[in-house]
Amino acid sequence: MNKRIKLQDLGRKDYKETWDYQEALFKSIVDTKIQNRRNETDVTTENYFLFVEHPHVYTLGKSGDESNLLINEEQLKAKGATYYKINRGGDITYHGPGQIVGYPILDLENFFTDIHKYLRFLEEMIILTLAEYGLKADRSKGETGVWLDVGTPFARKICAMGVRASRWVTMHGFALNVNADLGYFDNIIPCGIRGKAVTSLNNELGLETVNEAEVKQKLLKHFQTLFEAEFINYN
């Protein structure tokens, strides 16, 4: 079992370009697994973790409802945003500047074969990271992602999640609002859930900006502990 993960920070990168890159890494792992089974060889599969920040974009998961996008094509252009239907689970979400997006592309057979445990671990990584900033975050029953003030009229989502898995290989991941422009969420019904707000870390802390590099280091620390993994820089 290979628990080393190749870590790459892509900086700001177009959503479609990043999606294509994810697909290529995902396919390389799946192809290795197929060859291993066909040839009875034992080639070690790779694991990757991508950090990225996207220009303004809305993405709709395969089980999503297109009516949850509340603006038309012209309005999208006016806001400098793009829109894609994609192959992850979940409904509609927004990505943009000030948001830390993480895409773990893992062969879960290197760790554990339980997709629910995988999602809970991703949520736990976010919860532990936010605790370091004095915030009590939690899960909301039946709603993947991480929330604040769950079970109250003030419940608000700070991190969205949506993944795809095939042959125990994962792609897509999480989007944590750190210094995000929350106005862009007004153009959608986030994750298809009506009547619940969205928030960002800087908003919660009453700061103009939060150091995103510091947040990334905290995320990696907790991910590494939860998955008993080792990160290696990959360029």
Using CA atoms, how far residue 10 sits from 31, 72, 207, 213, in Å, is 24, 30, 26, 13
161 marked ligand binding residue: yes
Integer Cα distance of 197 and 47 in angstroms: 34
Tokens of 207: 């700061």
In sequence order, what are the beta bridge partners of 161? 174
89 marked ligand binding residue: yes
137 marked ligand binding residue: no
134 marked ligand binding residue: no
Using an 8 Å Cβ cutoff, are 158 and 147 in contact?
A: yes
195 marked ligand binding residue: no
174 marked ligand binding residue: yes
Using the structure block, give the residue that is written with the tokens 């944590």.
Answer: 176
183 marked ligand binding residue: no
Integer Cα distance of 179 and 203 in angstroms: 8
Q: Active-site residue 159, yes or no? A: no
Question: Of 130, 158, 191, 220, which residue is the catalytic one?
Answer: 191
91 marked ligand binding residue: yes
Integer Cα distance of 35 and 18 in angstroms: 26
175 marked ligand binding residue: yes
Binding site: residue ranges? 88-95, 160-162, 173-175
Which are the catalytic amino acids? 191
Binding site for substrate: residue ranges? 88-95, 160-162, 173-175
